[in-house]
Structure 1
Amino acid sequence: MHPRNLHQGSYDFNVLCKTLPTLAAFVFENQYGNLTIDFSQNSAVVALNQALLKQFYHIDFWQLPKGYLCPPIPGRADYIHGLADLLAMKDGEIPTGKKIKVLDIGMGANCIYPIIGSQSYGWSFVGADIDSTSIKVAGSIVKFNKNLSSFIKLRLQKDKKSIFHNIIKPNDKFALTLCNPPFHASMQQASAGNARKVKNLNKGKAAQKVGLNFAGKENELCCEGGEIAFLKQMVNESVDFATQVGWFSSLVSKSENIAPLKKRLTQIGAKQVEVIKMTQGQKISRFIAWRF
């Protein structure tokens, strides 16, 4: 993990249960004598996230509607810290404070990136989403946590075929944009990917029939053409806002999508492209960033 990531090593479930006593109902001792939870159970993952957010980011209220995406927090934190390093390239210092404005495309009901970014670096955020329920729920999280209310604003994307258009206003200036894009072309693909993940979590044992362990609505997980189609559209739209954004960025789930994205970025005149790898345990992920 990134050296500034607060979630190094194993979860300390004793401390987390003191922080959020309701988590204790999901904690058990595994065959190796270690405390853990069933990561294939969505309600357990939600409780873990509530405890992590309370302990590390002072979030007292965080609830999601049934079925909405509940992201793994350590990996999300790595992306934020990687973006902070990107901003530090210029003079070696990470800029902090509300003057650093960040746009989160597809924020979701969970509001994770604005929470971590505002509480870690004091950045101000605009969170955008096409789903009105996500905007409403994220708004409740911001409202009921006083340490968030002055840092986070929300915008509903009413044109579901657009990414930056209708969200970035004429007078906006953003240091960064970030995105966790829909990875799949269909819910069938999403379910198949989750089945593989659950099998791995169960160490090859016969897995019980479960839903998506981190949940997720169709608009959070899928789009026509999958990840590469979404990201190509993002790249194409970014040209129109080249003077209003310092760095554009997005997670890229599939490594084979990097080459065509870099090719397209060269074609449209991006002056700098960076691909940053992130490692969480055995998992390797990445984000791509570009500027004009």
Structure 2
Amino acid sequence: MSSPNSHQKTAERSPQKRLHPRNHHNQGYDFPSLIASHPTLAPFVFNNAFGNLSIDYSHAEAVKHLNAALLTYHYQIQGWDIPEGALCPPIPGRVDYIHHIADLLGVSDQNNNIRMLDIGIGASGIYSLLASHCYGWQCVGSDINQTSLNNVATILNKNKTLERLVTLRHQPNPHQIFEGIINQGEMFDVSVCNPPFHASAEEASKAYQQKQHNLKLKTNTNSLNFGGSAAELWCNGGEKLFLKKMIRESQVFAEQCRWFTSLVSKIENLTPSIKLIKKLGASDIKQIDMHQGNKITRILAWTFQ
């Protein structure tokens, strides 16, 4: 789950933020350049208490325009936008995932022979957009929400180079992950996923309110950067059950995907997931820690090949 708080920590840390070495955002945000590339960001930028340019990270529109500016300036992705209420991802952390996956695959530059499956691409399309731009990978993005897929299609239509690299597929069955998406005989080098974090809408809302309280951020209901549909933020059983389903289903497609990967937000879900992967006979399991300020996000990767 992303939040304005995680975006803020990424944006305004010192250079020793320990993002991936190829991450454009290791030195923070260059707001003058971002405004030049995306002028509609300008009204949201101000000098904070430390005399640095910043935005109000609890303001959904401000964060959305920051994302659009980052994607335009650093990644030449034009016209990025998301519907009201959709999850707004922190770009530095999302591109970090892609860079680490490139390392997992042994890729450091453009390679359009790599095929990536993006499970739950969401309305932002962020992983497929970044992977196709940064590395030239062919991406297939799946989602149970047709509205989300339509939004990504609109973004791709404005970026013809990426449109040729990204294919969108609707998952009609919310209880399936790979089934119904991976075609017979189709091969992928890797799958990526950011699972729904919470078990219910109520749990998600309470967690967000507590985080806002802890960080003493303004909680004006007109500016909450909460966002996210049921598919993006919560599902029955939360992250733990989603990971269990994904791991079990991955065994069925063991010969069609070289590496399966997923973010694991809750550390208590890591050990049971690894135990299940071992039980199902995986030949290799890797835990990749992404250090983003004081926060550590884990990528779990496994293969049966």
Q: Same fold (TM over 0.5)?
A: yes
Task: Number of aligned residue pairs: give it.
Answer: 286
CA separation of 1:170/1:206 partners in 2, compared to 1, >3 Å: closer, same or farther? Answer: closer
Distance 1:53 1:280 in 2: 19
Q: 1:289 aligns with which of 276, 298, 301?
A: 301
Q: Deviations over 1:217-238 (max 9, x none)?
A: 1121011000010000000000
What residue number does 1:137 align with? 151
Query: Which residue is equivalent to 2:50?
Result: 32
2:175 aligned partner: 161
Match of 2:39 among 18, 21, 25: 21
* Distance in 1 of aligned mates of 2:246 and 2:158: 32
Contact in 1 for aligned 2:78/2:155 (Cα 8 Å) = no
Alignment gaps of 5+ in structure 2: 1-18
Match of 1:188 among 184, 190, 202: 202
Three-state SS of the structure 2 residue aligned to 1:148 is helix
Preserved contact between residue 49 and residue 72 of structure 1 (Cα < 8 Å): yes
Match of 2:259 among 244, 247, 257: 247
Question: After the TM superposition, which residues 36-185 of structure 1 pair with which residues of structure 2 at under 5 Å, given as runs?
Answer: 36-88=54-106, 93-94=107-108, 96-185=110-199
Matched AA of 2:203: Q
Q: Are residues 29 and 106 of structure 1, via their aligned partners in 2, closer, same or farther at CA, if it must alter by over 3 Å?
A: same
> Residues 62 and 179 from structure 1, CA distance in 2 versus in 1: closer, same or farther, beyond 3 angstroms?
same
2:282 is matched with 270
Task: Give TM-score scaled by structure 2 length.
Answer: 0.90
Match in the other structure for 1:230:
242
Aligned partners of 2:251 and 2:109: how far apart in 1? Answer: 25
The 3-state SS of whatever aligns with 2:100 is: helix
Name the counterpart of 1:10: 28
Deviation at 1:97, TM superposition (A): 2.0
Query: Which residue in 1 is equivalent to 2:271?
Result: 259
SS at match of 1:195: helix
Structure 1 residues 206 and 97: CA distance shift in structure 2, 3 A: closer
User: What is the aligned partner in structure 1 of residue 8 from structure 2?
Assistant: none
CA deviation after TM superposition for structure 1 residue 100, in Å: 0.4
Give the whole-Å Cα distance in 1 for the aligned partners of 2:55 and 2:218.
Answer: 18
Partner SS state of residue 65, structure 1: coil
Q: Distance in 1 between matches of 2:226 and 2:40?
A: 19
SS of the equivalent of 1:260 reads helix
CA contact (8 A) 2:196 2:242 kept: yes
Cα distance change of structure 1 residues 77 and 20 upon mapping to structure 2, 3 Å threshold: same
TM superposition shift of 1:257: 0.6
